[in-house]
Amino acid sequence: MTAKLDRVKLRLKYCRPLVDALQVGIKNRFGHMTEDPELIAAAILLPKFRTSWIKDDDTIRMGVDYIKQHMEAPSLQLGDATSSSDEEDFFSAL
């Protein structure tokens, strides 16, 4: 959001102080969220945003590391599988 405001500010003549105030307000209100790995990971996982909202490589790395840490699949062992009845099997034929 602030990157877009930076681009708009370049073309403005009279409203630069307004854009500056908006950027300060956004940073004060939402700045702490750019340091939370869980929120960063959530933004990265949304196809609309991915990493377009941030240019800081360290922040992106923090989000990706959080995703990797929490997406580890549990190991499956053979012989642990039990057969389920038709009532328990959601995909069984009706």
pLDDT band for 90, please (50, 70, 90 cuts): low
Q: Is the pLDDT of residue 2 over 70?
A: yes
Report the pLDDT value the prediction gives residue 15, as an integer from 0 to 100. Answer: 93
**What is the per-residue pLDDT across 28-86, written as a single tens digit (0 to 9) for each?**
999 888 889 999 999 999 888 888 888 889 989 999 999 999 876 665 555 555 555 55
On whether the pTM is more than 0.85, the answer is no
* Spatial CB neighbours of 90, under 8 Å, sequence gap ≥ 6: none
Torsion angle of the four alpha carbons 54, 11, 20, 40, in this order, in degrees rounded to the nearest 10? -10
Report the pLDDT value the prediction gives residue 88, as an integer from 0 to 100. Answer: 65
CA separation for the pair 90, 10 (Å, rounded): 57
Report the pLDDT value the prediction gives residue 83, as an integer from 0 to 100. Answer: 55
Question: Coil, strand or helix: which one is 70?
Answer: helix
* Spatial CB neighbours of 50, under 8 Å, sequence gap ≥ 6: 44
Name the amino acid, one letter, at 83.
S
Report the pLDDT value the prediction gives residue 38, as an integer from 0 to 100. Answer: 93
